[in-house]
Amino acid sequence: MKTQVAIIGAGPAGLLLGHLLRAAGVACVILERQSRAYVEARIRAGVLERTTTDLLHRLGIDARLNAEGLPHHGFGLVDGERTVRIDVAALTGHAVTVYGQTEVTRDLIAAAPERGLDIIWEAGDVALHDVDSSAPFLTWADGQRLDTDFIAGCDGFHGPSRAALPAAVQKSFECVYPFGWLGILADVPPCDDELIYANHDNGFALASMRSPTRSRYYIQVPDGERMDNWPDDRLWDELALRLGPAGARIVRGPALEKSIAPLRSFVCEPMQHGRLFLAGDCAHVVPPTGAKGLNLAASDVAYLSAALIGFYHDGDEALLHGYSARAAARVWKAERFSWQLTKLMHRFPEDGRFERRMQLAELDYIAGSVAAQTAIAENYVGLPL
Catalytic amino acids?
72, 197, 288, 292, 380
CB of residue 28 vs ligand PHB: minimum separation in angstroms? 29
| CA–CA dist 170, 161 (Å, integer) | 12
| CA–CA dist 52, 298 (Å, integer) | 6
What residue 119 binds from ligand PHB, ligand APR, none (CB within 5 to 8 A, per partner kind)?
none
> Segment contacting ligand APR (CB under 6 A): 21-29, 152-160, 351-359, 375-383?
152-160
Q: Quote the Cα angle for 125-130-131, to 5°.
A: 90
Q: Are 89 and 95 in contact (CB under 8 A)?
A: yes
Q: Residue 16, interface with ligand PHB (CB under 6 A)?
A: no
DSSP letter (8 states) at residue 228: G
Choose, by CB under 6 A, the member of 5, 7, 96, 126 that binds ligand APR: 126
Output 40 or 232, the one with its CB closest to ligand APR.
40
Output 12 or 190, the one with its CB closest to ligand APR.
12
The residues that bridge with 259 in the sheet, in sequence order, are: 183
Output 138 or 255, the one with its CB closest to ligand APR.
138
What residue 46 binds from ligand PHB, ligand APR, none (CB within 5 to 8 A, per partner kind)?
ligand PHB
Contacts of 349 (CB under 8 A, 6+ apart): 178, 179, 222
For 298-363, give the DSSP string.
HHHHHHHHHHHHHHHHH---HHHHHHHHHHHHHHHHHHHHHHHHHHHHS--TT--HHHHHHHHHHH
| CA–CA dist 109, 107 (Å, integer) | 5
- Range 37-96, binding ligand PHB (CB under 6 A): 45-47
What residue 33 binds from ligand APR, ligand PHB, none (CB within 5 to 8 A, per partner kind)?
ligand APR
Q: Residue 45, interface with ligand APR (CB under 6 A)?
A: yes
CB of residue 44 vs ligand APR: minimum separation in angstroms? 5
Amino acid at 258: K
| CA–CA dist 223, 336 (Å, integer) | 22
Output 45 or 276, the one with its CB closest to ligand PHB.
45
For 195-217, give the DSSP string.
EEEEEETTEEEEEEEEETTEEEE
Torsion angles phi and psi, residue 181, rounded to 5? -115, 130
Q: Residue 31, interface with ligand APR (CB under 6 A)?
A: yes
Output 16 or 84, the one with its CB closest to ligand APR.
16
Contacts of 192 (CB under 8 A, 6+ apart): 76, 207, 246, 249
Q: Residues binding ligand PHB: what is the number (CB under 6 A)?
A: 11
Q: Residue 12, interface with ligand PHB (CB under 6 A)?
A: no
Output 14 or 136, the one with its CB closest to ligand APR.
14
- Range 262-321, binding ligand PHB (CB under 6 A): 288-291
Q: Residues binding ligand APR: what is the number (CB under 6 A)?
A: 28
Contact positions vs ligand APR (CB under 6 A): 8-14, 31-34, 39, 44-45, 101, 123, 126, 154-156, 158-160, 280-281, 293-294, 297
Contact positions vs ligand PHB (CB under 6 A): 45-47, 195, 206, 208, 216, 288-291
